[in-house]
Amino acid sequence: MSMEDLKQLHFFSLLWILSAFLVAALSFPQDSAAALYLDLPIADAPTKTKQSNIGLLYHPEHVNTAENGEATNLLNHIESLGYEVSLFEETLSHSTELENFLADKQVFIVPELSVGDIDDNINSQSRQVLRSFLESGGRMLVFASDSYKAFVFPQISNSVDFINDLLTISVKEARFTATGHGVLTEEAAYSVLSQGPQELPYNDLTVLLKGNQLPQSLPNPAMTLYKDSVSDNAAVVLFPYFAGELIYFGWDFYDYLNQAPQWLGLVNLALKEVDLEVRGQIQVEGHQLEIDLEVENLSSNTATGLKLSHAKPQHFKVSEAIDSNFDLCLLGSKIDCTLNSLAPKEVAYVKIFLETTEDFQEGNEVIFPFSLSLRELDFNPSNNQLQLSASPKAPLPPPADEVVEESATETSLPIAGGCSLVRY
């Protein structure tokens, strides 16, 4: 076995240990009180790791997949950052295949639409698949098409038409240029590109959008992240769409190794995810259960699409005393806590009070698993920490009334923690 094999074995062994399922077994004596505290620290990682939930449209009837083609350039750049990229090598008319492809993706990338007419290769079902992907918290990155090429060859689509059709809006191009620069806006502070460069030189060619015609409701207004230095036109725009977002980049990735590198950094940021810490405790007093959980955003990027999912313990019901800055949804045996966004350094908390039901008996086992999902997760190289590794479509914990096998060690919340029962 090679040294590289040993490193991989060590790394995956650590991941397996960190992903041990969190189960608390409690007994409730009738005449005494107990308190259970769970400390949930983030574990250190020995090596760097990247998520592999990135998809890229890569069919020659849509994008240029030739060597040095824009789609291939994007693929090469993203892989150079250490990411694994899955390729969607069907046309967008294959709605079922597209839906299956996006099922485990956090990011879907649409390179320059430089080949063919997309209207001939997409249908209403595929459009709805893409909308559902955004609605559920996915992120799409759409790169500009060469407007001059589309003008000369009307049969070729461009990315603005694609965005308008997908989001049912009416955005217009302002101009295409290879001179000038865009400036990072204050709005960008609330986006994943908050750490982008202050100035963004225009590459050949950069397609700007008319800033005064950006939609004001998607349901949230579009955000100009890079504004032209001498006009209201926009070079990079974020379109919020329910829990997800679409980011328009006004450059097509042509000749990317010989262009202004600031655009390459923006792509890196658009794939970057957020460093979170989860803290919590469960306290038991008599026949009452109090669940306290906190999530802190340790990064300088805004975390979006945050969701904590609890399995409500069997023989318990949620009392009316619930304190949280999450939005709570109680569905049968599940308690879902969602939060649209969590600003840098902000702490979100949830406190849920439960009490036993009439069928509770002394000695009943209480199972309390929970998972955390978020669209933005990543390794933090500054402190060598392995961050929470979850998917926006991660499976919820099993309901409390289902049998949990001892071998069920996989969970979407790989954390290291200990539990201790203290009686007083």
Between these two residues, 199 and 120, which has the higher pLDDT value?
Answer: 199
**Other CB atoms within 10 A of residue 4 CB:** 8
Stated pTM of the model: 0.58
Closest CA to 276 of 374, 393, 191: 374
Q: What mean pLDDT do residues 126-143 have? A: 92
Q: What mean pLDDT do residues 17-27 have? A: 35
Q: What mean pLDDT do residues 322-332 have? A: 71
DSSP 41: P
What are the structural domain ranges in the chain? Answer: 3-48+274-423, 54-271
pLDDT of 390 above 50: no
Considering the four listed CATH numbers 1.10.10.10, 1.20.120.420, 3.40.50.2300, 3.40.50.880, the one that applies to the domain covering 54-271 is: 3.40.50.880
Mean residue pLDDT across the chain: 70
Between these two residues, 308 and 258, which has the higher pLDDT value?
Answer: 258
pLDDT of 170 above 60: yes
Task: Note the pLDDT tens digit of each residue in 10-20.
Answer: 444 433 333 33
The answer to whether 339 and 9 are in contact (CB under 8 A) is no
The domain defined by 3-48+274-423 carries CATH number 2.60.40.1170: yes
- CA 111/CA 238 separation, integer angstroms: 16
Task: Name residues whose C-beta falls within 8 Å of residue 158's C-beta, 6 or more positions apart in sequence.
Answer: 113, 144, 145, 146, 147, 150, 173
The helix/strand/coil state of 423 is: strand
Q: Which of 24-28, 248-252, 279-283, 341-345 bottoms out in mean pLDDT, i.e. has the lowest?
A: 24-28
The answer to whether 99 and 58 are in contact (CB under 8 A) is no
Between these two residues, 237 and 122, which has the higher pLDDT value?
Answer: 237
